[in-house]
Structure 1
Amino acid sequence: MPELPEVETVRRTLNQLITGKTIEHVQVRLPRIIQKPDDIRMFEILLQGQTVETIERRGKFLRFILTDYVMVSHLRMEGRYGLYDVEDPVEKHTHVLFRFTDGSELRYKDVRQFGTMHLFPKGEELTQPPLHKLGLEPLDEDFTFEAFRDRIAHRSTKIKPLLLNQEYIVGIGNIYVDESLFLAGIHPEREASSLSKKELELLHSAIIRTLRESVEVGGSSIKSYVNGQGEIGLFQHQFNIYGRQSQPCKTCGREIYKTVVGGRGTHICPTCQPLKKTRTRKKLEK
């Protein structure tokens, strides 16, 4: 599933490709993609004549800001957008087509068919599902250490599942939790309440650093992820720990192992991320 850096990359790409375009016609080929409104024909009609003002992001959701409405889109496992000429052949697994007045067409393709779209009158999208309970945005200026600490410091939950819970912090999926915990030197099974102030500071910095570095190179392409122009991300070449089980740790040389924490595959270096004793990583203190 695309995580925050990948969705942010798609957002930036689509902003370059379709901002200012006006929708002439919409065709929905797979009704279950449309979650709101219930009437698929109404979804198609309401979007006619709407101009794309900008595209924003909330967690892993894209927000298409239109003249009168906001379309909230979640890519789920393998959803992707691409801009085509209206005469281009429609590829297999293309489920929603947005035709613009200039003869171009934004197409939503989803092999797994798990993606969703919700359409709201402007201003209502943040107060209703699926956006209404989302937590802190880790790349926003409001993601201060104090806000981060208040959300997680007193929780008895293991730190990895807590970071994956989108009601606390949004957009950080399995890849970036593993990478952030490694940089901070924190074992994924530590309880959040057991972390010292110093460890929380390191983790806060690690989350921001990891996400920013991934955004800079277009995210991570693990399976089928590409941006709106068909380009892959490159952050997978910078992984310190994710997907590197049975390989030596880049920091200490110890073999990385993979286990399950909170129902998710988890990569750990037993030396750099001790379970019982704490450890800080100087490279995050620069």
Structure 2
Amino acid sequence: MDYAEKISTHYGHGHLLAAIRAGLEAQGIAPEKASIADLGPVDEFHIGGRVASAHFLDQLEITPSQLVLDVGCGLGGAARFGAKTYGAQLVGIDLTPEYVTTGQALCAWVGLADQVTLHEGSALALPFAAAEFDSAYMMHVGMNIQDKMALFAEVSRVLKPGARFGVYDIMKTNDEDLLYPVPWATTAETSWPAAPENYREAFENNGFTVVKENNRRTFALEFFRKMKAAADAGKGPPPLGLHVLMQQSSAEKVPNMVANLTANRISPVEMIGVKNA
């Protein structure tokens, strides 16, 4: 099994669309009548979910005329939210086939199949033309990619001069080893979180000027505190949530994530770069 297959296998579910359908129906929601908000708890696989997406994507200054690339789109939740909120055309690419096929079905459910297109493929070999996109972003993707320079070079290639590239990744904030498993990796073999200075270097060496940087650790800790409180109050998880994606492993992955955050081994960090003319 090569590296890409290991990543895809890690994220694969097996019956993901059926699980999401069941979660909606448990709330009395017919899947074909679901809204962007209904899907938000399950289709935004990053710390902070929809709230984090709104905070992050607002900084990209997306307009209706733009073509925007979602690198490592997962189920396409952020892409659908971006299309609905800003009126732009969104294109997503992800390594996990089940995420792409499920995401395409979700786009059809919410009536965005003509505005959001998802592709299966690698962020290191984007199947797009040079200078094709007006903006790009990735959310919790770089932790699975060792060669950040190659990743940023490929994103730079497909962006127009002046385009914004936003990153919301989990970054290393001290030298301690992480507790595993975590949501993005079962072991350190497929885990490559890097320090903020490594990301800044990748931006600058590939023709970007970093214009914003936000450490979201406090927000992340509060997000997990609220999630635990809600689960405790409800005596279990809601019908839809990230536990649907991670299945039984969420019982170990989420506490390890919180422990790593609490020890300041990692932090979710936003960075916004502008491609130089």
TMscore range, shorter length: under 0.3
TM-score (normalizing by structure 2)? 0.25
Give the structure with the higher percent helix: 2
TM-score (normalizing by structure 1)? 0.25
Greater relative contact order (CA < 8 Å, ≥ 6 in sequence): 2
Q: Which has the larger radius of gyration?
A: 1
